């Protein structure tokens, strides 16, 4: 039987057959995504790939009722104008209460109307766009590498051009970020849309060596959401009886001038551009831009997955090691454990606060970076090493070496203890000590892995990794995987009392 073709107009292709219940297509395999350019000879794909996840669209990632199903989701490589084309060999009739999936109806929930126009309309709209197109927003930074120039553009979701581009391809967030979802809502007021900043990463190439014409290829993007925050008064606020009544600002007032926390919410690099340092380029540029904003008091990442955490840890650690404020971050060898001594005092709290103010990195992330850096500075005789590493000779441990290592572990445990206080309170003393030792050991191994990874990336001159590019998603969109070595430690019965974690909302 000839393959039927459906351009997503009304009605379906003819030739329905009765289907046994197992006639389903794997939606991850059926959907093929391509970046294309349109020229005189028609539409030419320049990259093709498949989704990683499709469960937000199709339950259990199965599409019932088709044989030989293919869904081709094409995007113009420059302006990401989408076009959907579906073909199949057979479509089956209703079996009992089960009928073939209405693919068109599902896709219309996640793609703009323009995606369902005819191929003729798609060709006409994209034929000359490569030479004329420029990304929306403003050019933030130009970057050069061996593959040619890259550009990062910055815009606001209140800008119609930015919003149109995001709406066209944000289904990719569902395909590649576990727990992600779309953010564009045209019914939102402008002041709400203005809270979203979007960063687009494009590769720029000359059309031909002879022509002074450049072509843009979409590589990835990230979104940042602005939360307004109330700052604690230092010194303490004026007593109520002596305080003036609060007055609203007069005249025009911009919410953007209020103190805020900026949260990296979505972060996506398309599969053809992974393992090339693009995630590192985009993250580094975004972080530098957020850090430079006067009203930003803290930069956070919402629910990063393990791979994105690696990218972030490497970039953040590399950054703080360039700062003079890090010189004051040292283990206090004179610290002694007493009832009045806080274990956080093992490292000068004022030095930590100064580093936080300089970097605007959230508390948990900054503490981890400090712990990681201090571990790398431990004397060789006590410095942990990976089981895969071999040391020919290790210096003898001195009393001072043993002490500094013991203090470092106490400093790590102080953070773990504070975060897990409620669970630890349910355990007796011996069990508490055992669980803290267990988690601290896992943290130590994780830091060793990260330091080794960071070193190898520095030596390779890239921040790319196997899957480090994709994985941040906003809280309201769901959750992502957690860091395994610092996540919940469970006993054999999976009881709540035995769960001890090193996870904290930023």
Whether 291 contacts 299, CB under 8 Å: yes
Binding site residue list for acetyl-CoA = 267-269, 305
Identify whether 302 is a catalytic site residue: yes
Give one DSSP letter per residue of 414-471, joined into a string: HHHHHHTHHHHTTS-HHHHHHHHHHHHHHHHHHHHHHHHHHHHHHHHT----SSTT--
Quick one: the chain helix, strand, coil %, rounded to 5?
35, 25, 40
CA distances from 25 to 32, 58, 69 (A): 13, 11, 7
State the pairing for strand pair 296-301/260-269.
parallel
Q: CB 504: neighbour CB atoms within 10 A?
A: 16
Question: In sequence order, which ranges of 303-362 are alpha helices (DSSP H)?
Answer: 306-320, 349-359
Instruction: Tell me 120's DSSP state.
Output: H
Whether 299 contacts 310, CB under 8 Å: no
Q: What backbone phi and psi angles, to 5 degrees, belong to 152? A: -115, 120
Determine the Cα–Cα distance for residues 506 and 504; give it in Å rounded to an integer: 6
Binding site residue list = 267-269, 305
Determine the Cα–Cα distance for residues 490 and 495; give it in Å rounded to an integer: 7
- How far is C-alpha 325 from the chain's CA centre? 27
Q: CB 329: neighbour CB atoms within 10 A?
A: 19
Buried residues in 72-97 as b, exposed as e (16+ CB within 10 A): bbbbbbbbbbbbbbbbbebbbeeeee
First to last CA, the chain: 57
Whether 391 contacts 383, CB under 8 Å: no
Whether 222 contacts 269, CB under 8 Å: no
Determine the Cα–Cα distance for residues 483 and 23; give it in Å rounded to an integer: 38
- Both tokens of 153, joined, read 């553009």
Write out the H or E segment, with its range, that includes residue 215: strand 214-228
Q: Which residue's entry shows tokens 């703009």?
A: 112
Instruction: Tell me 241's DSSP state.
Output: G
Q: Of the residues 170, 178, 298, 302, which is catalytic?
A: 302
How many residues belong to the chain? 506
Sorted by sequence, the CB contacts under 8 Å of residue 444 that are 6+ apart come out as 375, 384, 412
Whether 472 contacts 279, CB under 8 Å: no
Whether 398 contacts 376, CB under 8 Å: no
Active site residues: 302
């Amino acid at each position: 039987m000839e393959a039927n073709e459906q351009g997503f107009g009304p009605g379906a292709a003819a030739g329905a057959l009765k289907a046994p219940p197992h006639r389903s297509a794997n939606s991850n395999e059926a959907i093929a995504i391509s970046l294309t350019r349109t020229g005189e000879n028609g539409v030419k794909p320049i990259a093709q790939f498949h989704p990683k996840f499709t469960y937000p669209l199709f339950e259990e990632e199965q599409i019932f009722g088709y044989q030989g199903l293919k869904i081709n989701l094409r995007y113009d490589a420059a302006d990401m104008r989408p076009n959907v084309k579906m073909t199949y060999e057979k479509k089956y009739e209703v079996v009992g209460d089960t009928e073939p999936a209405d693919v068109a109806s599902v896709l219309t929930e996640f793609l703009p109307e323009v995606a369902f126009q005819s191929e003729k309309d798609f060709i006409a709209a994209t034929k000359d766009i490569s030479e004329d197109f420029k990304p929306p927003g403003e050019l933030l930074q130009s970057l050069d590498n061996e593959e040619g120039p890259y550009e990062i553009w910055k815009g606001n979701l209140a800008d119609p051009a930015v919003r149109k581009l995001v709406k066209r391809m944000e289904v990719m967030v569902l395909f590649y970020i576990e727990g992600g979802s779309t953010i564009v809502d045209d019914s939102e007021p402008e002041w709400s849309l203005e809270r979203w900043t979007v960063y687009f990463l494009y590769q720029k190439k000359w059309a031909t060596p002879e022509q002074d014409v450049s072509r843009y290829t979409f590589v990835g993007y990230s979104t940042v959401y602005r939360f307004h925050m109330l700052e604690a008064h230092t010194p303490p606020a004026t007593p109520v009886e002596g305080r003036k009544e609060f007055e609203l600002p007069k005249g025009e007032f911009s919410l953007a001038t209020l103190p805020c926390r900026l949260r990296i919410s979505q972060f996506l690099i398309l599969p053809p551009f992974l393992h090339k340092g693009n995630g590192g380029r985009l993250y580094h540029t975004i972080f530098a831009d957020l850090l430079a904003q006067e009203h930003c008091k803290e930069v956070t990442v919402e629910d990063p997955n393990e791979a994105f955490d690696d990218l972030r840890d490497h970039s953040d650690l590399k950054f703080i090691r360039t700062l003079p404020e890090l010189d004051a971050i040292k283990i206090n060898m004179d610290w002694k454990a007493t009832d009045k001594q806080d274990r956080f005092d093992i490292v000068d709290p004022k030095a930590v606060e100064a580093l936080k103010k300089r970097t605007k990195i959230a508390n948990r992330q900054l503490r981890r970076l400090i712990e990681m850096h201090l571990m790398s500075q431990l004397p060789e005789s006590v410095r942990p090493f990976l089981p895969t590493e071999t040391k020919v000779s290790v210096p003898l441990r001195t009393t001072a070496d043993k002490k500094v290592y013991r203090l470092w572990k106490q400093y790590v445990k102080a953070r773990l203890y504070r975060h897990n206080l409620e669970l630890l309170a349910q355990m007796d003393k011996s069990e508490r000590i055992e669980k803290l030792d267990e988690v601290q050991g896992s943290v130590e191994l994780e830091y060793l892995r990260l330091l080794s990874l960071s070193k190898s990336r520095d030596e390779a001159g890239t921040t790319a990794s196997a899957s480090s590019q994709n994985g941040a998603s906003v809280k309201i969109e769901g959750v992502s995987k957690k860091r395994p070595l610092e996540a919940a430690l469970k006993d054999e019965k999976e009881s709540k009392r035995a769960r001890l974690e090193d996870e904290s909302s930023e």
